[in-house]
Chain A
Amino acid sequence: RKEVEQDPGPFNVPEGATVAFNCTYSNSASQSFFWYRQDCRKEPKLLMSVYSSGNEDGRFTAQLNRASQYISLLIRDSKLSDSATYLCVVRTGGGADGLTFGKGTHLIIQP
């Protein structure tokens, strides 16, 4: 089983719709969780951290389900500029090498 698994997509979503996707992780001792956004041919950028109680940042909501070992990202009122690849990142241990990246979910917002 892969350590961090994401549906690669692409998810084709009309502008204004709500879209959600999940990321599962295999290590139950994982400590912290993040969503990064990566535009085509650009570097990844931190979108948001994921907290145990769930957190919201504008149109974006992130949630953590420790029992089922997944995190989710929900985007409301999607914009054309939301088109990107969303990377799930999990910290599975201490030390500088404790971060594990998923392959990413490709999202395409269509006009």
Chain B
Amino acid sequence: ETGVTQTPRHLVMGMTNKKSLKCEQHLGHNAMYWYKQSAKKPLELMFVYSLEERVENNSVPSRFSPECPNSSHLFLHLHTLQPEDSALYLCASSQNRGSNEKLFFGSGTQLSVL
């Protein structure tokens, strides 16, 4: 058990659907992240929430919108997605932003957009 739980594990949605991914961390960390992992590509940072800042990757389309109600919960709201958005979406958390910051990942949501 990683201490970071994500739901759902698998999601199939049509391009007109609206869905949300949920992440919860039980580690007392103060930073949470959404990453996208596509086949044959490196992990791509989408969003970060920490005590000091929210960081967005400017290349992420507006059809992805994050929500972080508190330091333990993170959501990724999805609407009008495209087939190329099919990927593994990983939530992660870390403690602080020091040089030896270590990421703890959830098990991911495998998303398929039809």
Q: A-side interface residues toward B, CB under 8 Å?
A: 4, 8, 31-32, 34, 36, 41-46, 49, 87, 91, 94-104
Contact = CB atoms under 8 A, between A and B. Distances in A.
B55 A101 contact: no
Contacts, number: 58
A4 B42 contact: yes
A96 B31 contact: yes
Interface of B: 2, 31, 33, 40-43, 45, 48, 50, 53, 55, 57, 90, 97, 99-108, 110
B97 A31 contact: no
Given A87-B43, A96-B55, A100-B42, 7 more contacts: A4-B42, A32-B99, A43-B106, A44-B43, A44-B103, A95-B55, A99-B103
A94 B106 contact: no
A46 B102 contact: yes
Contacts of A102: 42
Contact of B105 (A43, A49, A94, A104): A43
A96 B33 contact: yes
25 contacts: A4-B42, A32-B100, A34-B102, A42-B108, A43-B90, A43-B106, A44-B90, A44-B103, A44-B105, A45-B105, A46-B103, A46-B104, A49-B102, A95-B53, A96-B33, A96-B50, A96-B53, A96-B55, A98-B97, A99-B101, A99-B103, A101-B43, A103-B40, A103-B41, A103-B42
Contacts of B100: 32, 49
B103 A97 contact: no
Contacts of A98: 97
